[in-house]
Amino acid sequence: MSPAAQTETKLYAPSADTVARAHVNAETYDRMYAASMADPEGFWAEQGKRVDWIKPFTQVKDVNYNFGEVSINWYADGTLNVAANCIDRHLATRGDQTAIIWEPDSPTEPAKHITYKELHGSVCRMANILESLGVRKGDRVVIYLPMIPEAAYAMLACARIGAIHSIVFAGFSPDALAARINGCDAKVVITADEAPRGGRKTPLKSNADAALLHCKDSVKCLVVKRTGGQTTWIADRDFDYNEMALEASDYCAPAEMGAEDPLFILYTSGSTGQPKGVVHTTGGYLVYAAMTHEITFDYHDGDIYWCTADVGWVTGHSYIVYGPLANGATTLMFEGVPTYPDAGRFWEVCAKHKVNQFYTAPTAIRALMGQGTSFVEKHDLSDLRLLGTVGEPINPEAWNWYNDVVGKGKCPIVDTWWQTETGGHLMTPLPGAHATKPGAAMKPFFGVQPVVLDPQSGVEISGNGVEGVLCIKDSWPGQMRTVWGDHERFQKTYFADYKGYYFTGDGCRRDADGDYWITGRVDDVINVSGHRMGTAEVESALVAHAAVAEAAVVGYPHEIKGQGIYCYVTLMNDREPSDELMKELRTWVRTEIGPIASPDVIQWAPGLPKTRSGKIMRRILRKIAENDFGSLGDTSTLADPSVVDDLIANRAGK
Ligand code: ATP
Ligand code: MG
């Protein structure tokens, strides 16, 4: 059998220009990777110099992966401050350089350019305000803000005084917010009056009010003015940030933090179950975020870099705020959505700010691809040098569109595979070092040792042309340290199933050339008549058909085959469902992949259940396919719960 993703083996080599400019070329990659394997301590001691330490570390790595005694420490005896690394150390050389370009939801509202000097003042003021509200080193602060500069100020202000932030995406409900405030026993919640997004406004302050009804009375609420919209106010609980900022001093000394002091807590997306409160610490995280930002995106001084993620996701933490600012970069922060006021907004913003590196998610690419090429072609994208994706496997169809239509065939694409848990990229092609293959995560980052294990026996499968469960041998500095308040869950989730390894939960193939492909979640591998296949392969085949906009595939119990293939298919805007089309799609998948992958059930799905970060929640689709609607699990991170009702009502073959 030849899975769809495997048939696409065309190699896209970097241009001579890209190679010449790159921090890392093929030869440097091989040399540095070998060095990181031969002497990890020496390698990471050297990389540790990327950040400024108050007290330099003498220990590099102290890691134990044994179930029951898992403990992960990097640079443990060093001290530093993350905000000082992201701001203060740049002031002498680039105080007047733009640190953050802020692009508002509405294109008619002016953008802001915030210099490193201004960032310093704003962060210090916010830090002093938090201290005046009683926040001290080690205390937790929940941030529930739109994508406005104050979100970055709040993160860095926490880091400056040693408070631990936990960001809750502004699209989340009061219940999800309350659970996260209580989960970490936060002292303060920082929110805004309203969050404009796609021309609509979310009433953040009233959501926070509703959430706080379920929290301790002592929790304070600091409110940023964004729209000036009406809010209710509770004296002694609610505080006006803008008023306090007028009075606050613009200097606040950075706290001396241990490398292993927590920097933030962040919940995973909840694609596979109850979200986990991932804890990242100070020193190793910053070294890893800074290094991957510079090398993966080949960032150079003067470049304009844009990551479209929300700061509510780990991508926003590592690749909008901490990585770029630690490197003294200019990072763009966008408040809006890709389709407002129209499907050309991303490209308009790229042209307007002369963006050099652009980093987004496959879900956005697929959505924009469905709108045609004219929205892209209207805008001057000649400054783009590199494109990136993150969040899901990217199907070759979307990869090719991104490459041809957006990148005009001259921008390398970095398909970065990583997780909230990993803090930064673990596998990605490097732009000046590797030829890319559409849909492949290609190569491990320095110091990262991916292994492919047999899912049943847990034995390492060596050689190329193999497939199995993806684990990582040994640690890297950006790794999560624990689940907040539940070290037991941390050990059980990541270190119990495959002893001595970090278990990623993802499946993976190492192809004949030794390059890595993420095949989806391990849970998403199905076994049809004894043949194991990743559901992503069937999805890629379906999406390659001109009528199909999006597809999600799950297994369901099948009397004869063990598992059958159940496909949810969203059609292109201009196509109508019909029995002929259903037949055509079945034949299509059979020819694309093989008879074994022939769909047993196809259900037309006007929408698919997605997390707020745009990932398809296959576990819900699996329940629907299994006819088991009673136990859909945690659905609090769903973007649009009504989609689920529709799918249940129209379940095929009920
Ligand atoms: P939860 O762990 O709560 O189920 P989640 O896994 O969706 O949620 P994230 O940390 O946001 O939470 O996502 C990480 C996952 O996203 C990876 O484990 C992988 O399945 C997928 N992923 C991320 N980037 C890529 C990529 N470039 N290629 C393929 N898959 C990717
Ligand atoms: Mg996960």
Tokens 């640190």 sit at which residue? Answer: 99
pLDDT at res. 4: 40
pLDDT band at 643 (very low <50, low <70, confident <90, very high): very high
Can you give the pTM of this predicted structure? 0.92
In angstroms, the CA 111 to CA 148 distance is 11
**Residue 612: CB partners within 8 Å, gap ≥ 6?**
169, 171, 172, 269, 312, 637, 638, 639
Counting ligand 1 atoms within 8 A of each CB, the residue from 169, 180, 264, 269 with the most, and so the one to mutate, is 269
pLDDT at res. 31: 98
Mean local confidence (pLDDT), 91-96? 98
In angstroms, the CA 147 to CA 170 distance is 8
| Closest Cα to atom 28 of ligand 1 | 393
Q: Is 618 helix (H, G, I), strand (E, B) or coil?
A: helix
| Least confident span in 1-10, 142-151, 199-208, 218-227 | 1-10
Distance between the two ends of the chain, CA-based, in angstroms? 31
Mean local confidence (pLDDT), 411-417? 98
In angstroms, the CA 344 to CA 376 distance is 6
Q: Strand (E) positions, 410-515?
A: 413-416, 449-453, 466-473, 482-483, 501-510
| Closest Cα to atom 11 of ligand 1 | 269
| Residues in a beta bridge with 258 | 79
* 28 CA → ligand 1 middle, Å: 29
Tokens 């009433």 sit at which residue? Answer: 203
Cα 258 to Cα 56, 84, 253, 255, distances in angstroms: 11, 14, 16, 10
Mean local confidence (pLDDT), 607-623? 90
Digit-coded pLDDT (tens) for 304-331: 999 999 999 999 999 999 999 999 999 9
Angle, helices 535-543 vs 579-592, to 10°: value is 120
Quick check: 189 and 153 in contact, CB under 8 A? no
In angstroms, the CA 642 to CA 549 distance is 20
Angle, helices 26-38 vs 40-47, to 10°: value is 120
pLDDT score of 508 more than 90: yes
Counting ligand 1 atoms within 8 A of each CB, the residue from 317, 420, 442, 509 with the most, and so the one to mutate, is 420
Q: Does 521 contact ligand 1 (Cβ within 6 A)?
A: yes
In angstroms, the CA 506 to CA 504 distance is 5
ipTM tops the 0.90 cut? yes
Digit-coded pLDDT (tens) for 154-200: 999 999 999 999 999 998 889 889 999 999 999 999 999 999 999 99
Radius of gyration of the chain (CA): 24
More confident residue, 524 or 323: 323
Closest ligand to 274 CA?
A: 1
* 420 CA → ligand 2 middle, Å: 7
More confident residue, 370 or 52: 52
Cα 95 to Cα 34, 172, 300, 306, 608, distances in angstroms: 38, 36, 17, 20, 46
| Closest Cα to atom 31 of ligand 1 | 392
pLDDT band at 536 (very low <50, low <70, confident <90, very high): confident
pLDDT at res. 2: 34
pLDDT band at 537 (very low <50, low <70, confident <90, very high): confident
Indicate the average pLDDT of the chain.
95
In angstroms, the CA 586 to CA 304 distance is 45
In angstroms, the CA 69 to CA 75 distance is 19
| Residues in a beta bridge with 195 | 202
* 328 CA → ligand 1 middle, Å: 28
**462 phi/psi in degrees, rounded to 5:** -95, 175
Q: What ligand 1 atom has the least distance to the C-alpha of 615? A: 7
Closest ligand to 520 CA?
A: 1
355: left (phi over 0), alpha (psi -120 to 50) or beta: beta
Quick check: 569 and 599 in contact, CB under 8 A? no
Instruction: Give the closest residue to 552 by CA, choosing from 561, 541, 97, 346.
Output: 541
pLDDT at res. 612: 84
Distance from the Cα of residue 598 to its chain's centroid = 32
The annotation places the binding site for Mg(2+) at 543, 545, 548
Distance from the Cα of residue 583 to its chain's centroid = 37
Q: Does 310 contact ligand 1 (Cβ within 6 A)?
A: no
